[in-house]
Structure 1
Amino acid sequence: MNNLLRYLFLRETSTKLPLVNVVKLEGVIAPSRGVRGPQARRLISLDRVEPWLVQAFMPALKTFRPAAVAISLNSPGGSATQSELIYGRIRALAKKTKTPVYTFAEDVAASGAYWLLLAGDEVYANKTSLVGSIGVINATFGAVEAIKRLGIERRVYTAGKYKDLLDPFRPVRKDEEEQLQDVLADTHDSFKEAVREARGNKIAGVSEAELWSGRIWTGRQATLLGLTDGVARLEDKMREKVGDNVRFVHCSEPLRGGLADALGLSGNWGGFMGRQPDIYSVTSSVSEALLDEVQYRSMMARYGL
């Protein structure tokens, strides 16, 4: 249906004017299987965004073959695995279709989102965008004293020494910390490899120690260091690249849903099927939506957004 509407709207000009297919990625990078409603809209995963990418690079109608694909990113990062998968899918589609890719950072493209930013043949940011954070993090908590005060006895039975790795209700063992640090270091190495492959000898003016430290830079600083290719807005840069008469075709879903979606009801509402949601499902979904809002704002607040 979307392709048909685009065809009807642009049928007189699509064969004459250059098209740029735009994909907007916003939210935390994390797996999204089984997640519904507003929670799903806040996640960037391969499952969720692959249909948009395929539509952007390989539209059903030949008249919508793009002159370029532009990807706009606004994310504090998240899953290293999902970042690697999406990066790989973008590069594979670009190679298969021989379509140039341009990536743009909005407010923030940090950590795993910077990994995604590297998927562009050319990489851009706004002057005040936050870019970088080339590092890996694993955050947990410890409640050893709290569980003692509550008089709770923790009972965990395992087959395998590390099946209860970093259990928050007991003291951390030295060998556990070392094992986790090895995993983080290896993941960090994969991130570094992606940066070296994408930016090569463009990076200058920053030491290795600082580059891999996990710190962030503004878009203007990132350009001076070679982490990005320049400071630019998506629309302006694409007009410069393909012409002032460019037409933009958005291939991703709207970032905000309707009222039912905002309340966390969209995944459970069955009115069109002649059934009503049970009160437990509605209450549970609304609670999940509120908790998701708190978690999302906490993640974005990490970068002062």
Structure 2
Amino acid sequence: MHDDLTDKIKAPWHARLLGRDNVQIPVVRLSGTIEASQKPDRINIANAAPLLKRAFKNKQAPAVAIIINSPGGSPVQSRLVAKYIRDLAKEKNKKVLVFIEDVAASGGYFIATAGDEIIADPSSIVGSIGVISATFGFVDAIEKLGVSRRVYTAGENKSTLDPFLPEDPKDVERLKRLQLDVHEVFKDFVKERRGDKLDLDKEGLFSGEFWTGKSAIEFGLVDALGDIYETLQKRYGKKVKLVKIEERRSLFSMPRVPFLGGQIGQQSLSDDVLSTLKAQAHWSRFGL
């Protein structure tokens, strides 16, 4: 952990002698829904790990800045990315400053709590500490279409929550138990990372509700209001240099074609459309 005095150390003596005394702060942007898909606009451990590893390699940097802009998604990928950030911070002895842009909700906030400090815009959307599952029911639709569906399983619960079968209360109860387990993991991580900063007496803290950055301070969900440029200049001086850590693209990499995902022919049109709609549903919950 770096205190304020440590953070003000700008550069070794030979760098100052050569006039290169400005602080360098690596900046990693994590933006998009959180899912295992290998699209460039998704957050997951496979996409984030190489960027984070490069950021923490900067030996002279007193801190690593991470910009979060995510409505959430996979709880597994959220935890993996957050844990990787903490593992690197401990290994490299770096302070982690997280800056929230439009939204850090659900899994997005899970990742944000990996920071030693969280700075949000006053109008940022923050929180949504909960678990959600959504699907559709097509029982009436296939009946109207005159479609007969045949399903064969080994195992009485293999067809749990089948959208083409009537909803079974036992399936819903089973899903609720799973959600409660995942919710506990989420809450435990937030409590561990935020510690005494959290106001646990605040009603709705872990209810899945979300707030603006301005209100989130009252809950202890964020530490301060501001933006990355203003904050880093105040801490490290006007000469602070933000070093953007971005994905390295090969000169010979295949071009990305809209609605085909990643590279030419890599993904079917229907899969890409469904993935896009799913991502948009996450964002639309927060009016984005």
For Structure 1 versus Structure 2, the TM-score category normalised by the shorter chain is 0.7 to 0.9
User: Is the 2:254–2:263 contact (alpha carbons within 8 Å) kept by the matching residues of 1?
Assistant: no
- Match 1:301 to one of 257, 262, 284: 284
- 1:127 equivalent in structure 2: 122
- Match 1:250 to one of 244, 250, 270: 244
- 2:4 equivalent in structure 1: none
For the structure 1 residues 259 and 215, does the alpha-carbon distance in structure 2 shift closer, same or farther, using more than 3 Å as the test?
Answer: farther
User: Is the 1:260–1:266 contact (alpha carbons within 8 Å) kept by the matching residues of 2?
Assistant: no
Whole-Å separation in 1 of the counterparts to 2:128 and 2:19: 40
Deviations for 1:193-252, whole angstroms, at most 9, x for unmatched residues? Answer: 0111111221228535x1111111000000122110010101111122222221111112
* Identity over aligned pairs, percent: 41
- 1:274 equivalent in structure 2: none
For the structure 1 residues 211 and 116, does the alpha-carbon distance in structure 2 shift closer, same or farther, using more than 3 Å as the test?
Answer: same
Whole-Å separation in 2 of the counterparts to 1:127 and 1:268: 38
Letter aligned with residue 190 of structure 2? V
Secondary structure, in 3 states, of the residue corresponding to 2:97?
A: strand
Deviations for 1:151-208, whole angstroms, at most 9, x for unmatched residues? Answer: 2122111111111110011112222111110000010000000111111221228535
Deviations for 1:116-160, whole angstroms, at most 9, x for unmatched residues? Answer: 110100111000000000000010111111111112122111111
Superposition TM-score, scaled by structure 2 size: 0.85
Alignment of 1:188 with 2:183, yes or no, is yes
Whole-Å separation in 2 of the counterparts to 1:266 and 1:49: 18
- 1:24 equivalent in structure 2: 29
Deviations for 1:63-121, whole angstroms, at most 9, x for unmatched residues? Answer: xx312100001110000000000000000000000000000110000000000110100
- 2:95 equivalent in structure 1: 100
- 2:231 equivalent in structure 1: 237
For the structure 1 residues 262 and 218, does the alpha-carbon distance in structure 2 shift closer, same or farther, using more than 3 Å as the test?
Answer: farther
Deviations for 1:26-63, whole angstroms, at most 9, x for unmatched residues? Answer: 0000002xx4xxxx12210000110000000014xx5x
Letter aligned with residue 300 of structure 1? W
User: Is the 1:83–1:116 contact (alpha carbons within 8 Å) kept by the matching residues of 2?
Assistant: yes
Letter aligned with residue 56 of structure 2? F
Whole-Å separation in 1 of the counterparts to 2:242 and 2:188: 33
Whole-Å separation in 1 of the counterparts to 2:178 and 2:274: 29
For the structure 1 residues 268 and 133, does the alpha-carbon distance in structure 2 shift closer, same or farther, using more than 3 Å as the test?
Answer: closer
- 1:4 equivalent in structure 2: none
Q: Which runs of 5+ in 1 are unaligned?
A: 1-9, 270-280
Whole-Å separation in 1 of the counterparts to 2:19 and 2:217: 34
Secondary structure, in 3 states, of the residue corresponding to 2:160?
A: coil
Q: Which runs of 5+ in 2 are unaligned?
A: 1-14
User: Is the 2:261–2:272 contact (alpha carbons within 8 Å) kept by the matching residues of 1?
Assistant: no
Whole-Å separation in 2 of the counterparts to 1:212 and 1:22: 30
Letter aligned with residue 122 of structure 2? K
Whole-Å separation in 2 of the counterparts to 1:149 and 1:44: 39
Secondary structure, in 3 states, of the residue corresponding to 2:140?
A: helix
- 1:221 equivalent in structure 2: 215
User: Is the 2:256–2:263 contact (alpha carbons within 8 Å) kept by the matching residues of 1?
Assistant: no
Secondary structure, in 3 states, of the residue corresponding to 1:84?
A: helix
Give the number of equivalent residue pairs. Answer: 269
- 2:64 equivalent in structure 1: 69
- 1:143 equivalent in structure 2: 138
User: Is the 1:29–1:79 contact (alpha carbons within 8 Å) kept by the matching residues of 2?
Assistant: yes
- 2:166 equivalent in structure 1: 171
User: Is the 1:83–1:113 contact (alpha carbons within 8 Å) kept by the matching residues of 2?
Assistant: yes
**After superposition, where does 1:26-41 map in structure 2 within 5 Å?**
26-32=31-37, 35=38, 40-41=39-40
User: Is the 2:30–2:69 contact (alpha carbons within 8 Å) kept by the matching residues of 1?
Assistant: yes
- 1:197 equivalent in structure 2: 192
Secondary structure, in 3 states, of the residue corresponding to 1:52?
A: helix
User: Is the 2:26–2:65 contact (alpha carbons within 8 Å) kept by the matching residues of 1?
Assistant: yes
For the structure 1 residues 224 and 268, does the alpha-carbon distance in structure 2 shift closer, same or farther, using more than 3 Å as the test?
Answer: closer
Alignment of 1:86 with 2:81, yes or no, is yes
Whole-Å separation in 1 of the counterparts to 2:154 and 2:29: 45
Secondary structure, in 3 states, of the residue corresponding to 1:21?
A: strand
User: Is the 1:67–1:242 contact (alpha carbons within 8 Å) kept by the matching residues of 2?
Assistant: no
User: Is the 1:263–1:286 contact (alpha carbons within 8 Å) kept by the matching residues of 2?
Assistant: no
- The CA RMSD measured in Å over matched residues stands at 2.6
User: Greater share of helix residues, 1 or 2?
Assistant: 1
Secondary structure, in 3 states, of the residue corresponding to 2:134?
A: coil
